[in-house]
Amino acid sequence: MTAVAQTQRETGLTGNSAIAYAMMQINPDVCPAYPITPSTSVIEEFSSYVADGKVETELIPTESEHSAMSAGVGASAAGARVMTATSAQGLALMWEMLYIASGMRLPIILTDVNRALSAPINIHCDHSDTMGARDSGWLQLYSETVQEAYDNLIMAVRIAEDKRVQLPIMVCLDGFITSHAIENISLLSTEAVQGFVGEYTPDSALLNVENPATFGAMTLPYAYMPLKKQQSDAMTASKPVVEEIAAEFALLSGRNYGLLEEYKLDDAEVAIVVLNSSAGTVKDAVDTLRAQGKKVGALKPRLYRPFPHAEIAKALSGKKAVCVLDRADSMNGFGGPLFTDIRSALYSDANRPQIIDRIYGLGGADFRVNDALGVFDELFKVQETGQVDELIKYLTV
């Protein structure tokens, strides 16, 4: 048995159970929370670990999600390692505090179980919640599977707390599709997880009387803009940190993660770009068409903020036609957020492909292999004619 295998055990867990278990293994100092569907069972299960004495975490049941993130900001500024979870309207109610957490450079770790924002009321999956927060100064990692969600949360701790970063981070997984589905996964030992994440020792904290610090002070323009530049520089600097920590995690777990995943993309002439669980559906469609001799592939960004624009442009350069699948609409009259970012990343590439956007799966609408095959049929037509008939379209409506 290899050293990597010895540190793990196989089991079946839902996405939410895997997140709660990873939180137990990490043993954060503080967890302020206000549960909301479909992330509720993350906090329910983690609270049982607290009640059973399996962690030393101070669990704070708050009166709202705004209060949960407010308490998280205070605890993190005091020097604590802070983790929480939310979804949809819960993330929206945290909105003010998201910007405060990132502006104060607090490495809070938040799991968002992706759910549609109301109205109308809908408790099922799309990405409108985290896409709305994409410019709030939080890093964002997206997870295709339960295994990836578990692994991402462990890596997220190291990424956020790295001295080159010191920014909050969201780990995203699809509501119900991933959060409530049981998958067989490999769990690291608690000793291995705690050895990997280590102790959190902030350079400055409100309770460090030997090194006094000010958090959230009033600033005038001459101070505000340089501080925002530092925050932006830290976001840019986080990209190589994500890669470094993924490489270190691979040595521990045997599982390799990059900024993005290229699936049969090397010789592909057409490709689909997609986040989270739908990547698995698209991969099935790729396999079906590859068996027919068609050169198709898929690209799954794992890191979305900061946006790996250069890596994405390189991966898609030279393709004939590309479709971006967006599980959210920017309501800007020009498609979804992933589409506009990727189209912009390709702008300077002389070998850029024709690119279309298809908005799908809003409010949990099904996205099946046949739907992905239909998208590829559209791409074959674009490849053949060199013309785009519909740049942006809603699927399955």
pLDDT tens digits for range 245-295: 999 999 999 999 999 999 999 999 999 999 999 999 999 999 999 999 999
pLDDT higher than threshold 80 for residue 4: no
Class of domain 3-253: alpha beta
Query: 218-230: b or e for each residue (b if 16 or more CB lie within 10 Å)?
Result: eeeeeeeeeeeee
Encoded tokens for 126: 């799309």
Helices of type H across the chain: 3-6, 15-26, 40-51, 65-77, 88-93, 95-103, 128-132, 146-161, 190-197, 221-253, 278-290, 309-316, 337-345, 369-385
pLDDT higher than threshold 70 for residue 159: yes
The whole-number pLDDT of residue 328 equals 98
pLDDT, one tens digit per residue, over 212-240 is 999 999 999 999 999 999 999 999 999 99
The whole-number pLDDT of residue 396 equals 81
pLDDT higher than threshold 60 for residue 366: yes
> Per-residue confidence at 397, pLDDT binned at 50, 70, 90?
confident
pLDDT, one tens digit per residue, over 170-193 is 999 999 999 999 999 999 999 999
> Per-residue confidence at 1, pLDDT binned at 50, 70, 90?
very low
User: What is the CATH code of the structural domain delimited by 261-394?
Assistant: 3.40.50.920
The whole-number pLDDT of residue 2 equals 55
pLDDT, one tens digit per residue, over 23-50 is 999 999 999 999 999 999 999 999 999 9
Q: Which residues contact 183 (CB under 8 A, 6 or more apart)?
A: 12, 13, 14, 15, 145, 146, 147
- The mean predicted confidence, pLDDT, of the chain is 97
The whole-number pLDDT of residue 3 equals 58
Whether 3-253 shares its CATH topology with 261-394 is answered: yes
* Longest Cα–Cα distance in the chain: 69
The DSSP bridge pattern shows strands 182-188 and 270-273 to be unpaired
Q: Which residues contact 291 (CB under 8 A, 6 or more apart)?
A: none
pLDDT higher than threshold 80 for residue 362: yes
Q: What is the DSSP string of 317-360?
A: TT-SEEEEEESS--SSSS--HHHHHHHHHTTT-TTPPEEEEEE-
**CA distance linking residue 150 with residue 165, whole number of Å:** 21
Domain locations along the chain:
3-253, 261-394
> Per-residue confidence at 5, pLDDT binned at 50, 70, 90?
low
> Would the pTM count as exceeding 0.75?
yes
Is omega for the bond preceding 120 within 30 degrees of 0, making it cis? yes
pLDDT, one tens digit per residue, over 50-106 is 999 999 999 999 999 999 999 999 999 999 999 999 999 999 999 999 999 999 999
pLDDT higher than threshold 70 for residue 119: yes
